[in-house]
Amino acid sequence: MAIYATKQDLIDRDEQMLWNFAVDRDTGELNDTWINQALDQADEEIDSFLGRRYVLPLPTVPGMLNKIAITIAFYWLADRDPQATNLLEERYKMQLTTLREIADGKRELGLPTIEAPAESSVGKVELIQENERQFTRNSLKGVL
């Protein structure tokens, strides 16, 4: 099941392009199997980059990842039929560059990373160590 984008996201982005790339010529309908495969491939590609920096699955899907998943899914839909245009290939490469930058820490998603886990719902835990008492009965003998 797709995590970062859905069939509806593809329709919302460019319905005509989706119909060009995912129509089943025998039935005249959108082929959900092809669409789901493209979305799953996009998820796998994104996870291969994010897994180096973030704990997967992510708690929320940032809009940036949704956009990246849509672009990658369209690329893979076009790839199954030699329809991948230069524009789609260029966009695909740009999104891979963005994923590399996220994985390398040059871009942030605003989510907890492996190195810096999120605060728990209870809040921060602070450890406090007690110092040895400076003024005791023995140290104050004769002062009082």
Q: What is the mean pLDDT of the chain?
A: 87
Contact present, 74 and 10 (Cβ < 8 Å): yes
Q: How far is CA 21 from CA 41, 44, 56, 75, 130, in A?
A: 15, 20, 30, 9, 68
Which position has the token pair 């605060």?
119
Query: Can you tell me the distance from the alpha carbon of 117 to that of 36, in angstroms, rounded to the nearest whole number?
Result: 32
As a whole-number percent, the residues of the chain with pLDDT over 70 amount to 85
Mean local confidence (pLDDT), 9-38: 95
Decide: helix, strand or coil at residue 78: helix
- Of 100-104, 116-120, 124-128, the range with the lowest mean pLDDT is 116-120
Mean local confidence (pLDDT), 18-42: 95
Per-residue model confidence (pLDDT) at position 132: 75
> Which residue, among 86, 109, 88, 87, has the nearest Cα to 38 in the 3D structure?
88
Q: What are phi and psi of 110, to 5 degrees?
A: 75, 25
Domain assignments of the chain as residue spans, ordered by start: 7-103
Decide: helix, strand or coil at residue 113: strand
pLDDT for residue 56 is more than 80: yes
Amino acid at 85: T
Alpha-carbon torsion, ordered 129, 131, 133, 134, to 10 deg: -160
For the record, the structure tokens of 132 come out as 């040895």
76 CB neighbour count, 10 Å cutoff: 21
